[in-house]
Structure 1
Amino acid sequence: MSHPLPPTSQDVDAIAAWSVIRAARALARRLADELAPHGLTPVEFGVLVQLAASGDPQGRGGLAQADLARAVGVRPQSMTVMTRTLAERGLVDLGERRGRGRRSAVVLTDDGRRLLSRAYPVVLASNDWFGPDPATAPALVVTLRPLLGPAEQPAPHVP
């Protein structure tokens, strides 16, 4: 079905995908402001929280960089730089480098775990941004979950 051009602002606002993209950008900026006092970006928080959720109850299982990149939603090349930076800050351990093509798990360090324990409540409180009804944020997660890929991907949620 064709639509006349130019579209109206109501036409643009009715595009669900575009609204989600705009909202994601606004939420990322807001979350960045909330995490800044902790010295984290939203993506860095994503790395730490995915690592914490990846293994045993202490988060000591670790993830390969490629799996971590998928879980956080960034390119593998970006994850290489990100994990190196987080390792330099003492927040993750990159393990032994065994050569090209061999898996080496990225693991959360004790310092990373301590920082995450301070940042996690800040991010969890962002659920309140979606209104006073406590059911709204979980319903939004259920709605968006199919867009994030298969449920068997590493750490789709944090218990």
Structure 2
Amino acid sequence: MNQDRIDHILEQWQQELPQLDASALAVVGRVLRIARLLEKQRETVLSEYGLSLWSFDVLATLRRQGPPYRLKPTDLYGLLMLSSGAMTNRIDRLEQDGIVERLRDPGDRRSVMVQLTPKGVQLADTVVPALLSTEQELLSHFATPDEINTLTSLLRKLLASLEKTVK
């Protein structure tokens, strides 16, 4: 079996502090490393479309709402786990790029809605399939669909546990 960086790190800890139980690092270290590598992969694909990770998150979140592809800024920053200030800056930048627009909320004239422009919808409809195709290709290294299902189930279990305990 091939060894990875985490195996090397575990061996180093075993050598330096053999009494240390570093077994959690076998999972956590790999999950963190995988997350970083997947982010780099996403950044590469998204940069071809002039997008960053954060701009794609906003674009995709609005697009998957369905027509008319809009949310209140508070809902948007809640879904993206951002502060209102960070969300305002992101909306400003995407508005300058013609990807989103601010509209008066018809239900409350004091507030606004953030909506994808036709350019934003078209961009999302181009980028999302390209990104998912690239990510599907990354998963093609699994031998069987059962392996992917097992991994999905285990990751779901870990994520659900973390979402309950980490605030």
* Fold similarity call, TM over 0.5: yes
- Which of the residues 66, 69, 77 maps onto 1:69? 77
Greater per-residue strand proportion: 2
**Take 1:69 and 1:14, find their aligned partners in 2: how far apart are those partners?**
32
Unaligned runs of 5+ in 1: 1-5, 151-159
The SS at the match of 1:95 is: strand
Compute the TM-score of the two structures, normalised by the length of structure 1. 0.69
Q: Amino acid of the residue matched to residue 116 of structure 1?
A: A
Greater per-residue helix proportion: 2
Give the paired residue count.
Answer: 139
Shift in alpha-carbon separation, 1:130–1:115, aligned structure 2, 3 A: same
Report percent identity of matched pairs. Answer: 22
Unaligned runs of 5+ in 2: 1-11, 16-20
Compute the TM-score of the two structures, normalised by the length of structure 2. 0.66
Say if 1:46 and 1:72, in contact at 8 Å, map to a contact too: yes
**Take 2:149 and 2:71, find their aligned partners in 1: how far apart are those partners?**
26
Equivalent residue for 1:155?
Answer: none
Larger radius of gyration: 2
**Take 1:35 and 1:93, find their aligned partners in 2: how far apart are those partners?**
21
- Which of the residues 125, 129, 139 maps onto 1:130? 139
Deviation at 1:62, TM superposition (A): 1.0
Point out 4+ residue stretches in structure 1 off by more than 6 angstroms. none
Say if 1:43 and 1:72, in contact at 8 Å, map to a contact too: no
What RMSD in Å do the two structures reach over aligned CA positions? Answer: 3.3
- Which of the residues 112, 127, 149 maps onto 2:120? 112
